[in-house]
Structure 1
Amino acid sequence: MNKTLILAGTLALAAFSSQAMAGQAFVRAEAGFSDIDVSYGGYRESEDDSSGVIGGGYWFNPNFAVEGHVGSLYNKYLGYDEELDLVTVGVGVVGKKHFGNGSTGLFVGGRAGIARLTAQVREDTFDVVEDETSVKPYYGVFGGYDFNRNWGLSLNYDRRKANFDGIDVKVDTFSVGGEYRF
């Protein structure tokens, strides 16, 4: 965990270095669905749910950025005031290649980093919250269109994994994203 914090701090400091000031900060919102596969002792189950992730970061140039994100990948009502949530928080790097003039037009890219997934069960009657966390690498690919220097849309695929006390979880998220750069 300390290595993750050191990496995040180093990337944040690099974003404010004098060389980085030529780039652009950005915010991104993604909405889609997650396919969650759960495996335990030979038993396997899969379920889909809607997802929403918000993030931001800094483009050092049109091809390289650092990013952070937070979002909900899964939410299910379990009955009688109980809910199960799967939440992600992560930090990583992004690479992007444009096929248009300058920083506009069609693009493809990829991202990778470290994500902390938290499985949380909430019981509202007695205000009880129980959660488990897992920190593992994540990766993803995306393609889309930048309409101008400040605005673009993308289709995204991301893979996150977690292990909660011997329960293996794989989350494949497919989403549509909008990014504003300033």
Structure 2
Amino acid sequence: MKKYVSLAAALALATLSTNAFAGQAFVRGELGSSETEVSFDGFRGSESDTAAILGGGYWFTPNIGVEGHVGSLYNKSVGYDEELDLVSIGAGLVVKKNFGADNTGFFIGARAGIARMTAQVREDTWDVVDDESSTKPYYGVNVGYDFSRRWGLSLNYDRRQGDFSGVDVDVDTYSLGGEFRF
């Protein structure tokens, strides 16, 4: 994992220019659907649920930045007043290319980084009964429209994976996102 973090830091520093420090901080909210597939000992199953992700970061240039996120990918009742949650926390690099004047208009983008996915069983009182985490790379792509240099909307696809004691979990998330830059 250290080599991924080192690589991300090196890429971010390599992209800095003299105008890099005139960048923009941003916050982003995404709401959509996650398709969660579970594989264990030859068994495969999948289920969809609502995903909600909150993120933020910094655009060093109009095209390259760093981001962090936290979000709920899956939440289901498992009975006995307990729920199963899949939560993601991650950090990575973001890139985008605007096709309009002054970094506005339609854009395409991509992101990649490291995410820690945690599967936890908790009681309705928010007490965690059991949890396990897995740290793996994540990636995603998006298309959208920046209405101004301050805000825009996007359609996003992200892929996250986890391995919990031999249980492989793949989560594909499709979401609508809004980003505010300041």
Give TM-score, length-normalised by structure 1. Answer: 0.90
Conserved 8 A contact 2:29-2:53: yes
Q: Is 1:139 aligned to 2:135, yes or no?
A: no
Conserved 8 A contact 1:8-1:91: no
Structure 1 CA distance for aligned equivalents of residues 158 and 56 of structure 2: 16
Q: Is 1:160 aligned to 2:149, yes or no?
A: no
Q: Measured at CA, do residues 75 and 12 of structure 1 come closer, stay the same or move farther in structure 2, by a change above 3 Å?
A: farther
5 Å-filtered alignment, 1:65-144, equals: 65-124=65-124, 127-144=127-144
Paired residues, number? 182
Structure 1 CA distance for aligned equivalents of residues 118 and 150 of structure 2: 33
Q: Secondary structure of 1:148's partner? A: coil
Give TM-score, length-normalised by structure 2. Answer: 0.90
Q: Cα deviation per residue 1:60-105 (whole Å; 9 max; x = unaligned)?
A: 1111110000000000011121100000000000110111112100
Q: How far apart are residue 12 of structure 1 and its match? A: 9.3
Aligned partner of 2:59 in structure 1 is: 59
Structure 1 CA distance for aligned equivalents of residues 123 and 142 of structure 2: 37
Structure 2 unaligned segments of length 5 or more: list them: none
Conserved 8 A contact 2:19-2:61: no
Structure 1 CA distance for aligned equivalents of residues 13 and 112 of structure 2: 19
Identity %, equivalent residues: 67
Q: Secondary structure of 2:21's partner? A: helix
Aligned partner of 2:29 in structure 1 is: 29
Aligned partner of 2:41 in structure 1 is: 41
Q: Cα deviation per residue 1:138-172 (whole Å; 9 max; x = unaligned)?
A: 00000000000001000000000110011011000
Q: Measured at CA, do residues 125 and 68 of structure 1 come closer, stay the same or move farther in structure 2, by a change above 3 Å?
A: closer
Structure 1 CA distance for aligned equivalents of residues 91 and 125 of structure 2: 35
Structure 2 CA distance for aligned equivalents of residues 178 and 129 of structure 1: 34
Q: Secondary structure of 1:120's partner? A: strand
Structure 1 CA distance for aligned equivalents of residues 43 and 121 of structure 2: 21
